[in-house]
Amino acid sequence: MHTEIDKQVTRRFFQALETLIARKDIESVQSYCTDGGFDSRNIYSLRKDNATHMFHFDWLQPLIMNYGVSALWLLTGLGDMLHPMYLKAEK
C-alpha cells in the first residue's frame, strides 16, 4: 500500500528528473539509471502506474549528491528544489 507521503515523494522525484532533463543536466531517464546502476524498467513502470510499483529510495541519492536537488525538498516538499549552492555554481 502506498501512503500519500509515498506518492508525494514519488511525484517530486519525477519532477526533479524532468527539471534536470529540461536543463540538460541529465540526458534522459535511461542515462540517469545507467549512471546510477538502476534498472530503468522499474522507474518507467513506476512512472506509468505508481499504484503497483515500489519506489526505491536509493534512486534519490544521485539527485542529491550529483545534481544538487534538495533532500529536504524531495522528502517534504519544503524549500527549493535545487540547492542554492548548485544554482550559484552555474553562473
State the residue range of the domain holding 8.
Answer: 4-90
pLDDT digits (tens, 9 = 90+) for 58-76: 999 999 999 999 999 999 9
At residue 28, the pLDDT reads 95
Please give, one letter per residue, the 3-state secondary structure of the chain. CCCHHHHHHHHHHHHHHHHHHHCCCCCCHHHHHHHHCCCHHHHHHHHHCCCCCCCCHHHHHHHHHHHCECHHHHHHCCCCCECHHHHHHHC
In this prediction the pTM is 0.85
Report how many domains make up the chain: 1
Please give the pLDDT value at position 50: 62
Residue 4 — very low, low, confident or very high, per pLDDT cuts 50/70/90?
A: confident
> So what's the pLDDT on residue 72?
95
